[in-house]
Structure 1
Amino acid sequence: MANQGDSPVNEGRRRFLTTTTAVVGAVGAGFAAVPFIKSWNPSARAKLAGAPVTADITGLVEGQRLILEWRGQPIWIVKRSQAILTALPTLDGRLRDPKSDNADQQPDYIKKANPELRSLKPEISVLVGLCTHLGCSPELKAEIRPEPFDPEWKGGYFCPCHKSRFDMAGRVFQGVPAPTNLKVPPHYYENDTTIIIGVDPSSSNSAGAA
Structure 2
Amino acid sequence: MRLIVFSLIALVCVMPVWAGERADRSGTPDPAGLPVVVRAVEVGNLPPHGSLEFQWRGYPFRVVRRTGQDLERLRRSPATEAGSEGGAPHAIMTSLGCHECIKPDGYAQSLHRSPDPEYFVMLSVGPHYGCYISYFPPGDDNRWPNGERVELGQGWTGGFYDPCHDIRYDLAGRPFPNSLSGRNLFVPRYRITGAGLLIMGE
Give the AA of the match of 2:116: K
The equivalent of 1:136 in structure 2 is 131
Q: In proportion to residue count, which structure has more helix?
A: 1
Summarize the alignment of residues 1-210 of structure 1 with structure 2, pairs less than 5 Å apart: 37=19, 40-41=22-23, 49=35, 51-91=37-77, 93-97=78-82, 102=84, 104=86, 107-111=104-108, 115-144=110-139, 148-199=151-202
Shift of 1:175: 2.5
2:191 is paired with a residue of what secondary structure? strand
Change (3 A) 1:84 1:39: closer
CA distance in 1, matches of 2:159, 2:38: 26
Change (3 A) 1:42 1:108: closer
Larger radius of gyration: 2
Shift of 1:149: 3.0
Change (3 A) 1:64 1:152: same
Give the AA of the match of 1:123: E
* Alignment: residue pair count: 156
Relative to the length of structure 2, the TM-score reads 0.66
2:79–2:170 Cα contact (<8 Å) kept: no
CA distance in 1, matches of 2:152, 2:64: 22
1:185–1:198 Cα contact (<8 Å) kept: no
Which one has more relative contact order, counting CA pairs under 8 Å at least 6 apart?
Answer: 2
Shift of 1:54: 0.7
Relative to the length of structure 1, the TM-score reads 0.63
The equivalent of 1:5 in structure 2 is none
Runs of 4+ in 1 over 6 A off after TM superposition: none
Give the AA of the match of 1:102: S
Shift of 1:144: 4.8
The equivalent of 1:23 in structure 2 is none
Shift of 1:182: 0.8
> Can you give the 5+ residue segments of structure 1 that lack an aligned partner in the other structure?
1-35, 200-210
Give the AA of the match of 2:80: L
1:171–1:181 Cα contact (<8 Å) kept: yes
Shift of 1:185: 0.8
Change (3 A) 1:110 1:132: same
CA distance in 2, matches of 1:120, 1:175: 28
